Amino acid sequence: MPASQLGSDPDQTAVAAAVPRPRRSTENTGTAVTAPAETARTGLAAAWPALVLYAVLRAIGLAVVWVFAAEQHKSLLKLLGNYDAAWYVTIVQRGYDTGIPLTPAGGLATTNLAFFPLFPGLTAIADPVLPGGADVAGIAVSWLAGIAAAWGIYALGAHVRGRTAGILLAGLWAVIPHGFVESMGYTETLFTALAAWSLLALLRRQWITAGVLCTLAGLTRPTGSALIAVLGVSALIAVVRRRDGWRPWVGGAIAPLGFVGYIVWVGDRLGRADGYFHVQKDAWKMSYDFGQYTLRTAHGLLVKAGAPNMYVVTLVVLIAFALLLVLATDRLPWQLTAYSAIILAMSFFGDGYYHSKARLLIPAVPLLIPVAAALARSRRTVVVAVLGLLTLVSALYGVYLSLVWHHSP
């Protein structure tokens, strides 16, 4: 987060039921016009209630999982370091594979070349500083990134719908069904932080900042391509309309460097230009089929009993589509709708790993903006009731994901 965004603002309660001030938007660019006094509202002095709310709600979810884990004599830290988190630890400890390993039968095995380098790089930096090894360092990086994400989410919500909506947006993100993943050694929090701040910089037409953050996001997850597309189109529009001078050129040019750089590096490491896509398709069995796999699996769940997690995933995806329709008609900057739509499309069109489709939607934070705005206009009792219910559901589902479901969330 740019240090220049720190500012002062009168203290308010974390979930005050205030109606947000109306905002103006430029119809021809889709970017919000922000007055200097409003810009200061994204500073730490204004954002602290959102950070506290996020931390408290996530702590409640973790505490519930810890209680159930203790009954089964299982370590909470181990649960937080499972699955993808363990892959990042191997990268920190042994580096990337020099090639795709083979199974005993001679087929291609899964490889850590599918995982982007920023998160394990930060973990490697934190590892010598923190006790407990690389797994603990990865969890710590994820937690710190979660705070940064909550701040960015607040700032984005406050920019388009007012301070109260921004605070509630951070709280809602903490208690989504797959909120437990935000506390694991996963990349979701880091990517969401970079995406939120990059989108905010884009809406403010801070092209260089947006481009740098987009570059880092592209080094974090393949979903960085969603940001690259949105920033690229925005920069092209600004260039065609001759706005903001040279900055859109530079911002748009640097945005894909992280994503493309890693793709090229994997290709060079494997000795083939399509190396990364070869890893995804042939080693990890992941590709895109325009939603055929998703629809086929969802249909199967209607005619044959499946695991509870699969039904939750289906429900989350359906709700995401509904929220996208609301977002598209909510007179918000088009960049927020486009970014969310691409994230949703990447999840829906993916062929495989149905149980992870809801998790892949965690960074699609703009989908929650209309909900946060509606809560901001509601009575305080309604806000408390909604957040309380969602906290309970998210916490209990976190217990299921960590102790019952024996696959990646």
Residue 201 contacts residue 209 (beta carbons within 8 Å): yes
What angle is formed at CA 362 by the lines to CA 356 and CA 366, rounded to 5 degrees? 145
pLDDT confidence of residue 9: 39
Q: What is the rounded radius of gyration, in angstroms, for the C-alpha atoms of the chain?
A: 21
Which residues, at least 6 apart from 123, have a Cβ–Cβ distance to it below 8 Å? 88, 89, 92, 134, 137, 138, 141, 185
In tens, the pLDDT along 83-133 reads 999 999 999 999 999 999 999 998 999 999 999 999 999 999 999 999 999
| Statement: the pTM of the whole predicted model exceeds 0.85 | yes
Q: What is the C-alpha separation between 303 and 300, in angstroms, rounded?
A: 5
* Of the candidates 173, 176, 168, the residue with the CA atom closest to the CA atom of residue 16: 168
Return the amino acid letter for 133: G
Q: What is the C-alpha separation between 120 and 186, in angstroms, rounded?
A: 10
Work out the number of other CB atoms within 10 angstroms of the CB of residue 284: 17
φ/ψ of residue 5, rounded to 5: -85, -5
Q: What is the C-alpha separation between 199 and 286, in angstroms, rounded?
A: 28
SS3 of residue 288 by DSSP: strand
pLDDT confidence of residue 271: 96
Span 136-152, average pLDDT: 98
Residue 225 has pLDDT above 90, yes or no: yes
Report the interhelical angle of 188-203 vs 134-161 (nearest 10°).
30
In tens, the pLDDT along 343-401 reads 999 999 999 999 999 999 999 999 999 999 999 999 999 999 999 999 999 999 999 99
Residue 359 contacts residue 409 (beta carbons within 8 Å): yes
The structure tokens 């994901």 sit at 401
Largest CA distance in the chain: 65
Q: What is the C-alpha separation between 346 and 112, in angstroms, rounded?
A: 21
In tens, the pLDDT along 274-310 reads 999 999 999 999 999 999 999 999 999 999 988 999 9
Span 212-226, average pLDDT: 97
Q: What is the C-alpha separation between 19 and 45, in angstroms, rounded?
A: 20
In tens, the pLDDT along 202-217 reads 999 999 999 999 999 9
Report the interhelical angle of 134-161 vs 369-376 (nearest 10°).
60
Average pLDDT of the residues of the chain: 91
